[in-house]
Chains A and B, each alone.
Chain A
Amino acid sequence: MSRRSAPCAAVALTLTLAACSSGTDPAKGGGTVEQTLTVLAAASLTEVFGLMAEDFEADHPGVSVEQSFAASSTIVQQVNEGAPADVIALAGMSSLEPLAEEHRVGEVHEFTTNSLQLAVPPDNPAGITGVEDLTQDGIRLVVCAEQVPCGTASASLFQAQGISPAIASLEYDVRATLTKVELGEADVGIVYRSDVTEAGDRVRGVEIPDDVNVVNSYPILAVSDSPLAQAFVEEVLSERGQQHLTDAGFVAP
């Protein structure tokens, strides 16, 4: 496959041709094998997929996992246009729809879910205790723009609650929304639960009850026929992988 031969050729230039041809048996590993696995994943997976890659590299000597994190829609666009990738993991099942048929190599697995949470500064200056406080006068609420998944989810939360709170800013992604809360510029932001967990002490999370919360399922699949790709998907689905996700604030499907 051409997208695998490019890194292979690069390796061949610096090492030996043998290193490349023996790379067809990744399961055995072996010190002389040099292989690269390219994973494209949603921005919200940045930290947790870093841990997955470390585990995977430890179990597969000679394999290096290269990861790139972006908005799910961008990832699908990149793969459709022929960007080299072995595995993709996205936020939201609907993000997968535009993926071209020829790239759907592996089976799609819903490997985790993420729900919304209110993020407030540690001292919670506006005294936010739940969704019902979002409509209070004078609070500064920051949400994602509706064009990104966290914004779509926030909009459906408002709709389900029958509220239309005053919004100070529509941020371009979930991390920008969180930053405005971390800096204390916003009294409350709507982000994913995993983002609140990842931010640690910098923000405090206020739960949204399950019956009104919006849950996003995350799909993962191999987009190349490399055996390593399938192995990485299995790593994410494994008990160890799921533990990392749980620790990061995600919820098993």
Chain B
Amino acid sequence: MPLLVPAWLGVAFIVLPLVALFIRADWANITTHLAAPVVGQALRLSAITTSITMVVVWAVGTPLAWLLARSDHPLTAWGRALITVPLVLPPVVGGVALLMTWGRRGVLGGWLDETFGITLPFTTAAVVMAEIFVALPFYVIAVEGSMRSLDRRYDEIAATLGAGPVRTFSTVALPMVLPGIAAGSALAWARALGEFGATITFAGNFPGRTQTAPLGVYSALESDPQAAIALSLVMLVVSVLVLGLLRSRWLR
């Protein structure tokens, strides 16, 4: 099969660097490296921020996906395009945009600062905002796709039986799109976990407050490469596990 060679080259190109992480890790002292303060703090912060991110993404993204899937308005297509911009935007550009909006002299941030004395950059909240900015589109696109493939007659039947839009959505549509929600959640969570550019631009880098796992890897690489490899391994294993578990259950 002549197609096998390029196909396997593709696989090797992706898998080899992942394997290299395992080969180059200092396994004899792996527990010491994993116990390095930078590793634990960064992982804890990543766990917290990506969890909050997912709650917001579910709360905001699910209704948004539903509206996009059900709207016939001509502007919907534009709305969908705008929502997906962060998918292709370089993350650092997202960070600059967030800074211009929510920074201390930003369009909204200036007002927040003057009125309430709230400043967002350099805070954990800024990390969560950066993660939501890059992760929400992944979720909305995945969930909208599965919602659009739903047969509208189910909505209509529910409506004739007297269910309002919220009830229709929660008891008819939602259960049927759970696979789409699971898939979208996995993608969005993985994207939030890996977020680097927008975070470092908008939230800065301080251990325990804004230094998430990817920033921790970058930081450790300069001073303690083995800690960076250990942290990378943890992120790799967790990502593979989440995608793998979802694949067998929800993604096909």
Interface residues, chain A, with chain B CB atoms under 8 Å away:
140, 142, 145-148, 167-172, 180, 183-185
Q: Which of B122, B205, B218, B219 lies in contact with A185, CB distance below 8 A?
A: B122
- Across the A-B interface, how many residue pairs have beta carbons closer than 8 Å? 45
User: Do the beta carbons of B99 and A185 come within 8 Å of each other?
Assistant: yes
Whether the pair A180, B105 counts as a contact (CB closer than 8 A) is no
Given the contacts A169-B206, A183-B99, A185-B121, A146 and B223 also touching, CB distance less than 8 Å: yes
A-B pairs with beta carbons under 8 Å apart, 6 shown:
A148-B222, A169-B206, A171-B205, A180-B204, A185-B104, A185-B105
> In whole angstroms, what is the CA distance A41 to B222 when docked?
20
Which residues on the B side are within 8 Å of A168 (C-beta)?
Answer: 122, 204, 206
Interface: B226 (CB within 8 A)? no
CB distance from B225 to the nearest CB of A (A): 11
The answer to whether B219 and A140 touch across the interface, beta carbons within 8 angstroms, is no
Summarize A's interface: helix, strand, loop or mixed. loop
Report B-chain residues with C-beta under 8 Å of the C-beta of A180.
204
- Name the one of A146, A148, A167, A172 contacting B206, with C-beta atoms under 8 angstroms: A167
Asked if B205 and A170 make an inter-chain contact with CB atoms under 8 angstroms apart, the answer reads yes
Contact A183 B103, CB 8 Å, known A140-B122, A145-B219, A169-B210: yes
B200 contacts the other chain (Cβ, under 8 Å)? yes
B53 to chain A, nearest CB (A): 20
Chain A residues positioned under 8 Å from B206 (CB to CB): 167-170
Whether the Cβ atoms of B105 and A183 lie closer than 8 Å is yes
Task: Using CB atoms, name the residue of chain A closest to B219.
Answer: A145
Q: Specify the chain A residue showing the minimal Cβ separation from B206.
A: A169
Q: Tell me if A185 and B103 are in contact (CB < 8 A).
A: yes
Q: Give the residue among B105, B200, B222 with the most A Cβ atoms within 10 A.
A: B222
Chain A residues in 8 Å Cβ range of B204? 142, 168-171, 180
Q: C-beta contact mask, B195-207 vs A, less than 8 Å → 1, else 0?
A: 0000010011111
Residues of B within 8 A of A147 (CB): 219, 222-223
- Chain B residue nearest to A125 (CB atoms) is B104
Contact (Cβ within 8 A) B222 A145: yes
CA distance A170 to B207 in the complex (A): 9
Residues of A within 8 A of B203 (CB): 169
Other-chain residue from B99, B104, B205 in contact with A145 (beta carbon distance below 8 A): B205
CA distance in complex: A247, B204 (Å):
31
- Per-residue 0/1 for B205-236: is the Cβ within 8 Å of any A Cβ (1 yes, 0 no)? 11100100000001100110000000000000
Rounded to whole angstroms, the CA-CA distance of A168 and B119 in the bound complex is: 12
